[in-house]
Amino acid sequence: MYKKFFLLFLIAAHPSFSLTPSEALNNLIDGNRRYAEDKPLHADHSADRRNSLVQGQAPFATIVSCSDSRVTPEIIFDQGTGDTFVVRVAGNVVGPIELDSIDYSTKVLGSGLVLVLGHESCGAVKAVMEKNTADIEAVAALIQPALKKPTNLEMAVKANVKHIVAQLKKSPILKRLIDEKKLECIGAYYKIESGSVEILK
């Protein structure tokens, strides 16, 4: 019943895309540059900003990120409350539940960009590489298909990101928005030591 209602809600929704995909990406890149250089703009998390969002939200980007405590997208990209819609799960994987959230953020809220963010020293990807996946079997099953060729952890993390991006681009809702030039879906790699984000091509 919930699934049927959710899909009907998506179909009925008509979001306004506040930024183009390229503008959304540039916002994130600029914010990360500020963060890496330790020159944040002190993004707006004020009471006024919070109150302005009571009636609704319109995040310009959706970020799929690992749950790692060192990887906080709002901080890494120097963004304020309401700017980004963040889906966080170990290994930045996407299953049915995560995809529902991503579909909602794009179709209903109007996010113009979906960015899948892997990171340096990812414990979930490392566990799969080392076949030490007890208690994270569901996450490992989503990472495993991407790890056929990588020989080191960085390559494996990036391969996992690219695999997830490819899967997302096949989602009917995202594919249609991409075809309409309203959305882009890309991958990125966060370097914990430097604080910088590398956009993956």
- The C-alpha R_g of the chain, in whole angstroms, comes to 17
pTM value is 0.89
CB 117 within 8 A of CB 66: yes
The answer to whether residue 6 scores a pLDDT higher than 70 is: no
* pLDDT, tens only, 109-143: 999 999 999 999 999 999 999 999 999 999 999 99
Name which CATH class applies to 2-45+57-200.
Answer: alpha beta
Quick one: pLDDT band at residue 17, thresholds 50, 70, 90? low
> Is residue 9 over pLDDT 60?
no
The neighbour count for residue 74, using CB atoms within 10 Å, is 17
Q: What's the pLDDT tens digit per position in 68-81? A: 999 999 999 999 99
Separation of alpha carbons 52 and 35, rounded Å: 25
Strands 197-200 and 184-190: antiparallel
